[in-house]
Structure 1
Amino acid sequence: MLQILTHFKRDEYVETERLRIWDFYLLFPDKISSIKLKRSENDIKELIKTHIRKENNPYDLLLDTRKIFEKIKPFQLGALKCLASYGIINKDYLALNKVTIVSKDILATYSSKFEPLSVKESNAISLLTSHFYYMSLYGVDGLKDRTQLLESKYDA
């Protein structure tokens, strides 16, 4: 979560569900290629093929991505609550299922203690926090629908 928030350059908020989806794809960057994209998004498909290359790793096989996504939910929410307790993100916004950075200085202090991301992970975060930030989270062509990680059938 810290790595994603470090690369998130906007002063706006991001929805908790969107952040959880981004975190999932940071854990499993090869799965980004399974996100349904429109024909008009061929440039994004090419970026994924070029910079987030899918490797055939038999030890990284996920049979049910939605089930794995739900299994990591408590860890993701726990991480967000921890970040709120440290004053990195706003706890009042978190109660509204939104995440906004309160202190970039504290965020930089903690993130500098981690080892650098791999090129693949860095490319994944850049793509997720740019293109997939502007995509609607809800609806037929929303991020929830395209990833199939969260139920989107009943979204407004």
Structure 2
Amino acid sequence: MLIYHPVFDANHCVFRTLLLLEEQNYCEIDIELFRLMDFYVLFPSLLKSIKPFPNQLRKYKKSIQLIKEPYEDIKNPNRIFLELRRIQSIAFHHLLSKQLIDMKSFDIGKIKRTKNDLPDSLLVSMEQVEYKKTEWFTLISSELKKIEFYGVNGLKKRTGLMEYRYDEVIKND
């Protein structure tokens, strides 16, 4: 039996990427942080597993606890996060080819929306996304980027989805 899930849909990833980028006001974001943001848009209930939860975001903690568990059982989020990377790369390169992502930013490991216009129909679709009005989406799209990402106190460690032990070595070089 084949079951559809947006995690394996490159077109859905393009849509999510544009949705998240529209919230960034043309600012650059570290591409690894952006990949994490996209993952949590797909699986918002996994926000509950960020340990320790950042004090700066405690006002969101209660609303995160109210997120219902998904139908699918995610036994290995790390594996899904790694598999999602391939789909995200396809989506990013598609958006680069359409000149909707800035190439210079992408070359230095950042992602930034260009000022090229999106079709009106796409903008309407993006405005109609129900979860865009939720607190968890605001947390993901606006607040996560304010938290330290690298190192022993960063989001990489707190989420458990990425290697963080070598961050300090890389940052100091």
> Do these two structures clear the TM 0.5 threshold for a shared fold by scoring above it?
yes
Q: Could you tell which deviates more after superposition, 45-54 or 89-98?
A: 45-54
In the other structure, the counterpart of 2:29 is 14
Structure 1 distance, partners of 2:34, 2:121, is 21
Paired residue for 2:51, among 20, 30, 36? 36
The offset of 1:25, in angstroms, is 0.2
Q: Is the 8 A contact 1:139 1:145 kept in 2?
A: yes
Structure 1 residue 85 displacement after superposition: 1.0
Correspondences of 1:2-151 after superposition (within 5 Å): 2-9=18-25, 11-38=26-53, 40-41=55-56, 44-50=57-63, 53-57=66-70, 59-103=71-115, 105-106=117-118, 110-114=122-126, 116-119=128-131, 122-151=134-163
| C-alpha deviation, 1:119, in angstroms | 3.4
**CA-CA distance at 1:115 after TM superposition:** 6.9
% identical aligned pairs: 26
| Structure 1 residues 83 and 108: CA distance shift in structure 2, 3 A | farther
Q: Residues 13-40 of structure 1: CA distance to partner in whole angstroms, max 9, x if unpaired?
A: 1011001000000000111111124573
Q: Distance in 2 between matches of 1:79 and 1:39?
A: 30
Cα RMSD over matched residues?
A: 2.4
Q: Does 1:155 align with 2:157?
A: no
Higher mean Cα deviation, 23-32 or 122-131? 122-131
Pair 1:84–1:140, CA change in 2 (3 A): same
AA at the equivalent of 2:66: R
* Aligned residue identity for 1:19: F
Give the drift of 1:125.
Answer: 2.6
1:105 is paired with a residue whose SS is coil
TM-score (norm 2): 0.76
Q: Which runs of 5+ in 2 are unaligned?
A: 1-16, 169-173
- Rate the CA distance shift 1:147–1:107 in 2: closer, same or farther, 3 A: farther
**Structure 1 portions without partners, runs of 5+:** none
TM-score by length of 1: 0.83
- Show CA shifts across 1:66-120 (max 9, x none): 1110011110111111111111111122122111121152387644345722237
Counterparts in 2 of 1:64 and 1:75: CA distance versus 1, 3 Å: same
Asked if 2 retains the 8 angstrom alpha-carbon contact of 1:15 and 1:98, the reply is: yes
